[in-house]
Structure 1
Amino acid sequence: MAVDLVSELAAVDAEEFDALDATAGAVASYHRLAQHERDARWRVRYARVTDGPRLLAMLPTYACRGDRWADPSYDPARWPESTAADTGPGGYLLVGGSADLRSGFHVGPELRSRIGPLLTAVAGAAAAEGRGLLFPYAYGPTREVLDAATGGRISWAPVGAEAVFAQALGGEAELSSRVRRVLRRDRNLIAEQEVEAAAWPWGEVAGEAAEVIAVHNTRKGLPDHPEFVRMRYAQWADCPSVELVVFTARTEGVRAVATGLVWRDELAVHEIALTGEDGPVRLAAYVSVLYHQPARYGAERGLRLLRGGLAATAPKAMRGAEFRELHGGVLDAAATRELLTRP
């Protein structure tokens, strides 16, 4: 078994990489992470483990080149219950991901119980620059593997939960009676408010969708602009393994959009935005793009899984979502150095 550090994903096969871990879906896929290599704000390296011709692990790491967080959501000082002493980006090497608020863990199943050499390589790269290790937006199974490998030395904080509609694409028969009642009520409301629903390729509605998203984000206190939205989604549109779709809902005085990412056998609702004021009309448009259109689209396409994103947990739970907890982990520089001396 050999361990080394490489600077680009082009060193390995895309299908072989994606087969290591699909927990985070499209946001941690080969082609999406390859796009991050072009982000000048980060220096990207991968800790690779091979056994002859077989790829056992290809774990992304990110070192920030600047003195400000590229995305403040990755600053552990903003995480609930965080005990991070040094929250500047120069103090850490990020492991797993640096964007999209979810991180994969590209370590094959046979290596997960013996990741010591891999973790030593990552810790050595961090310690050489006086950095600690940051594990942002990690799923529960990743946390368990890392805790076992480090003896529980990593300090964890809750950073969110991803909604998954595990049964939505197989029909409603398996759903609880309570969820079925909510969905029937939704459909009646959508019909009463005469919502016009449609699914589009991004290119056909990019202008309208970007405007609605930018206005929505700005209204929520996150300054945005249609041009910035188009730039963000241009990356997804150029991602070879991902199909970018937009769900729209229009009714009197309200426009709603939801962007969706089709990757392999799953659909992920990526972002939802609406215009208009609260009331039955807006609610009808909202539930159309939140659940009903994506569920119908996924079922018609024969997809296996519907991901519902990170926010608005209450309305998603009412419609049958289960939640995968996300965790932010911090290992300070001193504890990172200690990993290098462990037997």
Structure 2
Amino acid sequence: MDCGPDGKAFRRLNAIHLLLVGGSFELVLRNSRVKERTLRLWISRFNSMGIDGLTYRPHTGRPRKMQPAQVVSDILTVVDDPSLAQQSHWTLTKLCGWLREEKSIELSYRTLVRYLHEHNYARRIPRKMPEPPDREAWEIQRETFAGELLDLLDDRKADVFFGDEAGFEGDPRPRAKWVKRGTRPTQGYFGGHVRQNVVGAVNPQSGQLVSLIVPHCDTQVFQAFLDTMAAEVPRKKGRRVVLVLDNASWHRAKGLEWHHIEPVYLPPYSPDFNPIERLWQHLKGHYLAGYLTKSGKELGDKIYDSIRALLDQPDLLRSVCRTHSD
């Protein structure tokens, strides 16, 4: 009884204890506040299995209302593309109502949230991206590139890096934080324009990261990065080194010396194909969130220390980048 895992186990063990010390069946029944059938079941379990028969174990619960395949076909398809349901945006309350009215599927808000979490969906604020002038042609181009990229990642003789630049400010935007209800959290700012840039490339399969902290981005700076990457990722016999980039002007400058690195360019308006974007978000959210400074040198030192910490955790680098790239 002293070691009972929960209150239910204690009640059952207490009932058996009272019987063992001489209590009458009627007295134990009144004390346990259960039906006679339940008490007899406890006694039967104790007689056949001992104390283990009285320890409460969680039940499997009610059967699922929807199997995973049905969740994909009836819910995730319209979540990914609300236009299929003649909608432009979903809230989960709105989606619950639509499923009830259009699909005759009764789901609670909590159950719907659980189904989405099971399929690795989360609530995120979309980032703004320019609308392509010819969406149909753009989608075809993206689909073609996706196939080529998958072939490239499957090539065991290719080391594929994804490169990009990111800016870090001395006054970063406020990030969500846990606070006591009723309080209004604040974050100071200086109102200056302290900024440092990082140019980098990451291999999501190996976790290798090559990066430089730079004052700005242009062709000369990018050439310095290519020189650094060529030294840190040397040519190996029978292997290729591929660098996937966006279409920034300095990435396509004619005078660049690529050494043994092969450039591959993303389709326009396609930052979602570049897993290093996820790495920059992780760096800003986990290492520099709330960090304020008026000094460009202090900001550079903070970025340097943060990147050094990431370099010591290749498994984390792979996890952050591959979750995005997969």
One fold, TM greater than 0.5? no
Greater gyration radius: 2
Q: Which has the higher helix share?
A: 2
Higher RCO (CA 8 Å, separation ≥ 6 residues): 1
TM-score of the two chains, using structure 2 as the length reference: 0.25
TM-score of the two chains, using structure 1 as the length reference: 0.24
